[in-house]
Chain A
């Protein structure tokens, strides 16, 4: 925050240790201004936000295409091994932009906070969000805060929007997968979903697995530089996991996928947790992984570049795109048989036996 900030003049120190969000924090009055100044502006501080306007006026690089995305975060619990809702909101939105092959530039953040929520927790979430955006080099340039009555939200909900620019010559889209293309996964799947489950109130189990929550735009920039137009499409397999992502791409492109279960990286701890809960890692959420479809001749080059990046160290070629008007994602199992990897029906629920 700059010393010239007009809001700073109204500053009363928030009791971050014991204080709780109350309805006055959403009233638009002095309490709101205090909350914004001491939690969000401190956490996100940058030249655009510090202007204190209701919007940010932003310069854009000339001649490049703009991409925009928006996303909502309602994760429970808010704090989990390897991250929290704040860093997750930054990473998730950056990744949605990056999957277009774009360079993310700016984020916005809207907070819906439940009356009674501890100020200290809100400060921690905002701090984590600010740290994540600084580490990624993508500032939160504008935002909003609303307080709703107790019971009308689950602690904190965060909505974010993001904009970025796509380099000339790059067009990534889910409808561009073609038979013969290679399918590459950037690393181990299921870490985020298992980390979240391990910390749920009614399901606490001991695991060393941390969420893979990470901003992937650096990895993507290296991939775009290496493979350029050979890159057909990229997507981050978040909710619904790898299975949902491959089915979405099959549907968009009107093709089938054939993947090899042996080639899909799954940590032993994740496999064990899924085994215990009767879940399939292919359907478990990720927050720091991507699937790339690439022309076959560029696959090895792309794989090498990914493996040289810390977030793609465990990248693997997991299968190929095939012609299939039924748009099936088929998998050769580690056991040697074949199966479909279908869309998930509803939520993935643990089985009785």
Chain B
């Protein structure tokens, strides 16, 4: 495949692996977080861990919008879908995400809810147009990448004069979550955050550009290398991060120059700005409530807001208290350190954020990497009785 195979070349991987091994200093360790689930997927899917020296460790971040969506919002979506007049349109990977009381959209569909899996936000608009007697709700989710397509769907519905199309908005923001990871203080008895640098999001950065990451390099002293999702992209980003650390630098560098520009996609940014505004606070599964970390529709577009039309009031729903997602997402622990991992918490029965979608840290480790023996953190702190 043109433009794909070039970035999965085994021979090039070998030479990059050798370069990383040569430049990683043997007298220290390196710990980098790949923020995006797409990177986590590539690392696991291609076995990149096997191509890195033992002293270079990747921490799988929270960058999967499905993983970090709180249970309460899935409950909301199920309640919406169970309304007799509603057709709920959703992206496929939300279907299995567990909600309260062992529910999910898949189970709600089996129970009679009209839930349609769509591949594009515009599919939801088409469904609304074809079914004027139904209230069609588009379950909008994702980081900055999928926000413009939601905006385009809204504009299309507006242009068609559709009165039966609304958006249940769950768009969240990447830089805010990165900051939260760095700023959350270590709990007593737990070591400080291990992350020394970030492999920055690829698709998100095509929209927002490179500037929003400057704060991490300049204020927090954490280098950021924005990288594509192909395995060679990820390996090159790791090499670039090691170089920065070795040279004592922390800058924002762009490995993904074939898609990401410094200012990003200005037209998409303007469209997003026109339609969405910041929520005061939004809950992230595994990370808790974060201020100014998500978007909602502006009042001018209230007619398209499912939360307004159907008076959605999210009820908080707690994760399993034994779940170690927070510690895993911040790099304190590895998936196998969690006592739920592989016992009560598996991809079939996910308990926490990291196991929810295939791109979560625990799901990736379970699905692709659990054959490795060295899967526990050598110094994993013993869980304190609470």
Contacts and interface: CB of A to CB of B under 8 A. Distances in A.
A339 B46 contact: yes
A53 interface: no
Contacts of A334: 8, 10, 46
Interface in B189-226: 203
B143 A353 contact: yes
B118 interface: yes
A24 interface: no
A336 B14 contact: yes
Interface stretch (B19-27, B244-252, B332-340, B368-376): B368-376
Range class of the B interface residue count: 35 or more
Contacts of B370: 340
B307 to A, nearest CB: 20
B1 A342 contact: no
A349 B106 CA distance: 12
Interface in A202-221: 202-203
B202 to A, nearest CB: 9
Q: Which of A334, A338, A339, A342 has the most CB of B within 10 A?
A: A339
Interface stretch (A13-21, A180-188, A268-276): A268-276
Given A352-B65, A352-B93, A339 B348 contact: no
B66 interface: yes
Interface in B5-44: 8, 10, 13-14, 17, 37-38, 41, 44
B134 interface: no
Nearest to A329: B371
Interface stretch (B48-56, B255-263, B293-301, B318-326): B48-56
Contacts of B119: 202-203, 350
B309 interface: no
A206 B302 CA distance: 38
Nearest to B92: A349
A353 B203 contact: yes
A323 to B, nearest CB: 14
A335 B235 CA distance: 11
A154 B27 CA distance: 65
Contacts of B37: 353
5 contacts: A335-B10, A345-B96, A351-B93, A351-B357, A352-B66
B46 A350 contact: no
Interface of A: 202-203, 262, 268, 271-272, 275, 280, 326, 328, 330, 332-340, 342, 345-347, 349-353
A272 B1 contact: yes
A333 B8 CA distance: 10
Contacts of B359: 351
Contacts of A333: 45-47
Contact of B371 (A262, A326, A345, A349): A326
Nearest to B367: A342
B65 A353 contact: yes
Nearest to B52: A337
A328 B369 CA distance: 11
Nearest to A335: B46
Query: What 4 pairs across the A-B complex have the smallest Cβ distances?
Result: A337-B47, A345-B347, A349-B92, A335-B46
B358 interface: yes
Given A335-B8, A345-B346, A352-B94, 4 more contacts: A335-B10, A339-B368, A346-B348, A349-B93
B13 A336 contact: yes
A349 B47 contact: no
A336 B66 CA distance: 29
Contact of B48 (A328, A337, A340): A337
B91 A350 contact: yes
A268 B1 contact: yes
B41 to A, nearest CB: 8
A351 B203 contact: no
Contacts of B269: none
B145 interface: yes
Contacts of A353: 37-38, 65, 142-143, 145-146, 203
Given A338-B50, A352-B141, A202 B118 contact: yes
B95 A338 contact: no
Contacts of B44: 339
B17 A336 contact: yes
Given A202-B118, A345-B347, A352-B91, A337 B50 contact: yes
Nearest to A330: B371
Contacts of A203: 119
B118 A349 contact: no
Contacts of A340: 367-371
Contacts of B95: 349
B213 to A, nearest CB: 18
